[in-house]
Amino acid sequence: MGVERTWVEDAIDAIENTKIRHHNYELTRARLAASCRATFRGELIVLVGPSRVGKTRCIRDALNVPRENIPDANAWMRVVVVDAGNDSRGGEFSTKGFMAECLRGIHHPIYGMPAEDDPWEEHLQAKIHRAPEAMLRMALENALARRRTEYFVIDEAHHVRYAPGGDAAAARILDSYKCLANRTNIKLVLAGSYEMLSLLTLAPHLLGRQQPLEFSRYRSDSRLDVSAWEQVLRKFSESMRFRDNESLSSWNRYLFDGSHGCVGQLSRWLRAALATLLSDGGDAMTQEILTRCRLPAAQEASILAEIQQGERHMQSFSGSPREATAPQSHPMQSEAGPPGNLSAKGKAPRKPFQRSSKRNKVGGRA
């Protein structure tokens, strides 16, 4: 006789399997798809945003990557997706290890797929270990041509910062990606945290070949974002049980603050709360459970600081500072307050390179 499932287990599965097509996601997916269409081969697209905002899924949906991304009947792969992991010795980024991951992602018949008599991949790993990195690189370039790959996606690309040699090494690695795109005539897609913005400045040759796109979090100073956030909460509430006619919307501000307006972080938080509810044998979601599962204040502050720094880096040259760089406000909060464009003395700052209006002395220089 099987054990009867609880509603909490069903709710965990529902959150895992539900793909909420919320406003920020749909907007970013449309922009990314259009940018990929307009990008020439040999150029690159850069997608940045907070951690757990949904960049990976957005890329896969924008490029129509199937769940099982394997070569088709013609042995072609229109899109190849790989992760740039810092999983070498001491948490370093290994260029050779990355080449091996690329060959696995493109299903290379020699260096990417184990033989039938090698189920634990011991022989495959030994073969890769013996092969020079230059040989693996050449194998990847040939495979990209044979697979007729159009898009080569490198997720978590900011991990190149962990390469031995620091920023100088990271710049060389990024520049090698540009060479890879040129030589193989592909469109390169880099995705990562806001840290990618500062990394790209290390490789000036890349800057003129890309236009960064941002998958932003929801912001409390936008009525559209507040409305979209409320829709997300209602969707997640559908699979949960509450008390006294409550729902996740009852704790809108609290959930927004704890997840910084990122749906992925909200999902992680809710799943942690459901796990606690399951272990405790609870029968309803409460704010007390959510509080117990909220990240420590120091961790939340660190995440928020990284997001705000990235948002400042994404400001356009002529744009005004974002409200998000100031202390975080709450959804539904009144928009009234002191003007944001006043200086400490209460005077609006002048635009750069404009003189103050004053009369010159007679005979003075015009």
pLDDT tens column, 14-58: 998 888 888 899 999 999 999 999 999 999 999 999 988 999 999
pLDDT at residue 106, as a whole number: 98
Lowest mean pLDDT among 64-68, 148-152, 335-339: 335-339
pLDDT at residue 3, as a whole number: 60
Q: How confident is the model at residue 211 (pLDDT cuts 50, 70, 90)?
A: confident
Per the listing, tokens 């704790």 go with 251
Q: What is the mean pLDDT of the chain?
A: 86
pLDDT at residue 318, as a whole number: 41
pLDDT digits (tens, 9 = 90+) for 82-134: 999 998 889 999 999 999 999 999 999 999 999 999 999 999 999 999 999 99
pLDDT digits (tens, 9 = 90+) for 284-311: 999 999 999 999 999 999 999 999 999 9
What's the DSSP call for residue 331?
Answer: T
Partners of 214 in beta bridges: 48
Closest CA to 83 of 204, 192, 240: 192
Asked whether the predicted pLDDT for residue 319 surpasses 80, the reply is no
Asked whether the predicted pLDDT for residue 337 surpasses 90, the reply is no
Asked if residue 46 lies in contact with residue 212, where contact means CB atoms within 8 angstroms, the answer is yes
pLDDT digits (tens, 9 = 90+) for 138-196: 999 999 999 999 999 999 999 999 999 998 899 899 999 989 999 999 999 999 999 88
According to CATH, the topology of domain 23-214 is Rossmann fold (3.40.50)
Residue 176: alpha-carbon gap to chain centroid: 22
Q: How confident is the model at residue 313 (pLDDT cuts 50, 70, 90)?
A: confident
- C-alpha to C-alpha distance for 329 and 340, rounded to whole angstroms: 14
Q: How confident is the model at residue 258 (pLDDT cuts 50, 70, 90)?
A: very high
- C-alpha to C-alpha distance for 63 and 60, rounded to whole angstroms: 5
pLDDT at residue 205, as a whole number: 77
pLDDT at residue 317, as a whole number: 52
CA distances from 231 to 3, 8, 228, 328, 363 (A): 34, 21, 5, 21, 67
Closest CA to 267 of 242, 299, 233: 233
Which runs of E-coded beta strand occur in the chain? 44-48, 79-83, 151-155, 187-192, 212-214
Q: How confident is the model at residue 69 (pLDDT cuts 50, 70, 90)?
A: very high
Buried-state track 88-105, b at ≥16 Cβ within 10 A, e below 16: beeeebbbbbbbbbbbbb
Q: How confident is the model at residue 338 (pLDDT cuts 50, 70, 90)?
A: very low
3-state secondary structure (DSSP) of residue 68: coil
> Which amino acid is located at 43 in the chain?
E
Asked whether the predicted pLDDT for residue 344 surpasses 50, the reply is no
Domain ranges of the chain: 23-214, 218-300
pLDDT at residue 241, as a whole number: 96
Residue 2: CB atoms within 10 Å: 4
**Helices and strands: H and E segment counts in the chain:** 14, 5
pLDDT at residue 229, as a whole number: 95
Statement: the pTM of the whole predicted model exceeds 0.75: yes
> Which amino acid is located at 316 in the chain?
S
- C-alpha to C-alpha distance for 31 and 12, rounded to whole angstroms: 31
pLDDT at residue 91, as a whole number: 92
Pick the CATH number of 218-300 from 1.10.8, 1.10.287, 3.10.20, 1.10.3470: 1.10.8
Supply 93's token pair.
């980024």
